[in-house]
């Protein structure tokens, strides 16, 4: 398991870069969509007369299907062909995007978003395993850098693209744009990307493992995403799906889902161990975790993802609530992060040849910590986009370096035959980490916004009124602040609430920075020479 992977197909010349463009464009489509929707949701709520619960499920339906099906589709890609799964995923994603745009009810909209998640879960691991299978040597390191830079850069550009489309076209085009992109990707991939699959020819399918790992991830991801809304232990809001309502008033649906999810994963591990001992096909080959670069790398991916995009969740809320920026202006500010990520993706490969991929990974996480903490220090009620840009740029460079190198390190010693499930595992680690991190960051933000009452009392507002305003600010994630200007003593209320938001953002930056720093410490468990052979140009022999 620790040998350098054997490549059955190697792309050479210009064709490999053309192939990489189409693979990266497919990944860019799903990453853009995941962030564009955050900007489009307010308009969608108004146009379709959606409830708050409907609006929350627009994101949850996508995240739930996407994160829980990555490993399942990664194994399917190994078994039936990575190019095939990638193309099917793009088709499903593009069709689902058209369904979202055509939806006029909450049920069809949420269902189409779940279908988008299924398509995305096919695209992401398949794209990465194709790169792992057909690129070698220096070109492989560059390909991973481009793949990682695409994820970091598109995550930052999403609000800009979404803001522009929503402002100058309509929210429908925030999704319809995926249709022409999808057609271009399908044509390009069919022409230039070769097919690869499990070269060992392992037949059969692990039905119990597949069901258990999917149900386990659904339960855990649902609990993480929805705990804040429905209550972690006792119900704080009614849970409804169609005409069915959660019947218990004493135990939250989140607690039950989380416990069942954990039990399913434990049973899955026991069953997988028995199947491995019997020489049967498994959905998740636990022996992969014996590879130190894979096991330690996934631990780093999980921990870093807890804090990596935490500020991207909180900063747009802060800018629009306290600084008066609209969605498009907020997108332009976050463009500094995208530029930093793209710069890093170009510089990552040459640096990894000089310093080694693990050292570049660590450099990226150092830059992330500096950017996050720097933003936390300089954030204020007077801050401008120009004042934030240098720190966002540093943070973006860190994401670009870390994402690309971490991917290469995790997959560097994994046999190509298992690259689909290995790619899916690392993607799942990131997605679950991001889901947990968003929940933690969201809780930190709410706790921080609770300090608004103290800031208002310091400005002479009576305690009862201050608490009422503080609750309104916290419950709206700060978006009630602009309306405070219309109240009696509006200037005082707005200024005090803005100070409370600054306190909340500073708390968020500390939490996010701690998680990334912990990931940095964990990275020293990764063998220093992991992925170095590939980055320095070793060309494995063809079978």
Query: Which secondary-structure segment (H or E) carries 245?
Result: strand 244-245
**CB 393 within 8 Å of CB 339:** yes
Query: Distance between CA 381 and CA 423 in Å, rounded?
Result: 42
Per DSSP, the residues of 88-147 read: HHHHHHHHHHHHHHH--SHHHHHHHHHHHHHHHHHHHHHHHHHHHHH--HHHHHHHHHHH
- In this predicted structure, the answer to whether residue 118 has a pLDDT above a threshold of 90 is yes
Higher pLDDT, 156 or 236: 236
In a domain, 222, yes or no: yes
In a domain, 7, yes or no: no
- Tell whether 386 and 256 lie within a shared domain: no
- Tell whether 235 and 300 lie within a shared domain: no
Output the pTM of the full model.
0.79
Please give the backbone phi and psi of residue 241, each rounded to the nearest 5 degrees, phi first. -130, 110
- Looking at the structure of the chain, the number of domains it has is 2
In a domain, 494, yes or no: no
Query: Distance between CA 302 and CA 149 in Å, rounded?
Result: 18
In a domain, 340, yes or no: yes
- Tell whether 196 and 269 lie within a shared domain: no
At 156, the pLDDT band (50, 70, 90 cuts) reads low
Query: Distance between CA 281 and CA 300 in Å, rounded?
Result: 28
In a domain, 543, yes or no: no
pLDDT of residue 533: 47
DSSP code at position 12: -
**CB 368 within 8 Å of CB 505:** no
DSSP code at position 417: G
pLDDT of residue 372: 93
Return the structure tokens found at 539.
């060309």
In a domain, 289, yes or no: yes
- Tell whether 199 and 210 lie within a shared domain: no
pLDDT tens readout for residues 473-499: 877 777 788 888 888 888 888 888 888
Which residues are within 8 A (CB) of 169 and not within 5 positions of it... i.e. 6 or more apart?
none
In this structure, of 37-41, 387-391, 419-423, the range with the lowest mean pLDDT score is 37-41
- Tell whether 287 and 337 lie within a shared domain: yes
In this structure, of 59-63, 123-127, 383-387, 535-539, the range with the lowest mean pLDDT score is 535-539
DSSP code at position 540: P
- Kindly give the residue spans of alpha helices, DSSP state H, lying in 379-418: 385-411
- In this predicted structure, the answer to whether residue 399 has a pLDDT above a threshold of 90 is no
pLDDT of residue 3: 42
In this structure, of 121-125, 144-148, 383-387, 424-428, the range with the lowest mean pLDDT score is 144-148
pLDDT of residue 542: 39
User: What 3-state DSSP class applies to 239?
Assistant: coil
How far the first Cα of the chain sits from its last, in Å, is 17
pLDDT of residue 112: 94
Which of 280, 305, 339 is at the close of a domain? 280
144-168 average pLDDT score: 76
Query: Distance between CA 418 and CA 77 in Å, rounded?
Result: 10
CATH number at residue 316: 1.20.1250.20
pLDDT tens readout for residues 456-467: 888 888 888 888
- Tell whether 310 and 377 lie within a shared domain: yes
pLDDT tens readout for residues 171-217: 888 899 899 999 999 999 999 998 887 665 556 678 898 889 889 88
Which of 222, 257, 280 is at the close of a domain? 280
**CB 150 within 8 Å of CB 27:** yes
Return the structure tokens found at 455.
């800031």
- Across 124-150, b (16+ Cβ under 10 Å) vs e yields bbbbbbbbbbbbbbbbbbbbbbbbbbb
Return the structure tokens found at 441.
């960051």
Q: Identify which of 288, 292, 266, 264 has the alpha carbon closest to the alpha carbon of residue 276.
A: 288
Query: Distance between CA 513 and CA 288 in Å, rounded?
Result: 30
pLDDT tens readout for residues 500-522: 888 888 998 999 999 999 999 99
Q: What share of the chain has pLDDT > 90, as a percent?
A: 24
In a domain, 486, yes or no: no
**CB 36 within 8 Å of CB 181:** no
Q: Identify which of 264, 259, 253 has the alpha carbon closest to the alpha carbon of residue 215.
A: 264
Which of 280, 309, 326 is at the close of a domain? 280
Bridge partners of residue 245, in order along the sequence: 240
Query: Distance between CA 345 and CA 143 in Å, rounded?
Result: 9
- Tell whether 288 and 367 lie within a shared domain: yes
At 152, the pLDDT band (50, 70, 90 cuts) reads low
Which residues are within 8 A (CB) of 476 and not within 5 positions of it... i.e. 6 or more apart?
none
- Tell whether 123 and 155 lie within a shared domain: yes
- Tell whether 377 and 265 lie within a shared domain: no
Q: Determine the structural domain holding residue 240 and report its residue range.
A: 206-280
At 17, the pLDDT band (50, 70, 90 cuts) reads confident
- Across 496-513, b (16+ Cβ under 10 Å) vs e yields bbbbbbbbbbbbbbebbb
Q: What is the largest CA-CA distance in the chain?
A: 77
The C-alpha angle with vertex 81 and arms to 76 and 85, in degrees rounded to 5, equals 65
- Tell whether 273 and 292 lie within a shared domain: no
Count of CB atoms within 10 A of residue 463's CB?
11
Bridge partners of residue 145, in order along the sequence: none
DSSP code at position 242: T
Distances (CA, A) of 429 to 93, 284, 417, 422: 22, 13, 20, 11
Q: What share of the chain has pLDDT > 70, as a percent?
A: 90
**CB 478 within 8 Å of CB 318:** yes
In a domain, 51, yes or no: yes
Distances (CA, A) of 456 to 469, 476, 507: 9, 17, 19
- Tell whether 260 and 287 lie within a shared domain: no
- Tell whether 17 and 114 lie within a shared domain: yes
């Amino acid at each position: 398991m620790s040998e350098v992977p054997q490549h059955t197909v190697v792309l050479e010349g210009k064709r490999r870069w053309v192939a990489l463009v189409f693979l990266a464009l497919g990944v860019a489509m799903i990453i853009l969509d995941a962030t564009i929707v955050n900007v489009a949701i307010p308009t969608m709520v108004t146009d379709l007369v959606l409830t708050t619960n409907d609006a929350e499920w627009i994101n949850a339906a996508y995240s739930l299907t996407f994160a829980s099906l990555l490993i399942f589709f990664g194994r399917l890609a190994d078994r039936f062909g990575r190019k095939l799964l990638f193309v099917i995923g793009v088709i499903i994603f593009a069709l689902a995007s058209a369904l979202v745009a055509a939806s006029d009810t909450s049920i069809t909209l949420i269902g189409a978003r779940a279908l988008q998640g299924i398509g995305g879960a096919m695209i992401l691991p398949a794209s990465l395993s194709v790169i792992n299978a057909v690129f070698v040597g220096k070109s492989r390191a560059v390909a991973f850098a481009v793949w990682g830079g695409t994820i970091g850069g598109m995550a930052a550009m999403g609000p800009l693209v979404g803001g522009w489309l929503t402002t100058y076209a309509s929210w429908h085009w925030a999704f319809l744009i995926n249709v022409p992109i999808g057609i271009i990707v399908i044509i390009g991939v069919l022409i230039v990307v070769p097919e690869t699959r499990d070269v060992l020819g392992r037949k059969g399918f692990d039905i119990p493992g597949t069901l258990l790992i999917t149900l386990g991830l659904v339960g855990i991801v649902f609990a993480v995403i929805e705990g804040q809304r429905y209550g972690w232990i006792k119900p704080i809001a009614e849970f409804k799906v169609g005409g069915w309502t959660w019947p218990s008033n004493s135990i939250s649906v989140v607690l039950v889902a989380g416990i069942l999810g954990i039990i399913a994963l434990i049973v899955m591990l026991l069953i997988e161990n028995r199947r491995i001992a019997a020489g049967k096909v498994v959905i998740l080959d636990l022996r992969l975790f014996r590879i130190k670069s894979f096991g330690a790398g996934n631990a780093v991916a999980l921990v870093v993802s807890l804090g990596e995009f935490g500020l991207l969740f909180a900063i747009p809320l802060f800018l629009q609530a306290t600084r008066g920026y609209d969605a498009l202006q907020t997108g332009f500010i976050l463009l500094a992060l995208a530029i930093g990520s793209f710069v890093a993706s170009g510089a990552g490969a040459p640096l990894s040849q000089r310093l080694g991929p693990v050292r570049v990974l660590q450099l990226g996480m150092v830059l992330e910590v500096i950017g996050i903490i720097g933003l936390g220090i300089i954030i204020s009620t007077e801050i401008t986009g120009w004042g934030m840009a240098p720190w966002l740029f540093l943070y973006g460079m860190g994401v670009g370096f870390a994402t690309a190198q971490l991917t290469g390190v995790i997959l560097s010693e994994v046999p190509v035959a298992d690259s689909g499930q290995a790619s899916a595992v690392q993607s799942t680690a990131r997605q679950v980490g991001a889901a947990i991190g968003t929940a933690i960051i969201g809780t930190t933000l709410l706790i921080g916004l609770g300090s608004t009452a103290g800031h208002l009392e310091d400005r002479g507002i009576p305690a009862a009124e201050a608490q009422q305003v503080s609750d309104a600010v916290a419950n709206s994630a700060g978006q009630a602040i602009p309306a405070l200007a219309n109240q009696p003593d509006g200037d005082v209320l707005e200024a005090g609430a803005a100070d409370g938001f600054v306190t909340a953002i500073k708390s968020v930056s500390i939490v996010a920075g701690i998680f990334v720093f912990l990931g940095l410490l964990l990275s020293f468990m990764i063998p220093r020479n992991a992925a170095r052979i590939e980055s320095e140009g070793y060309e494995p022999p063809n079978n």
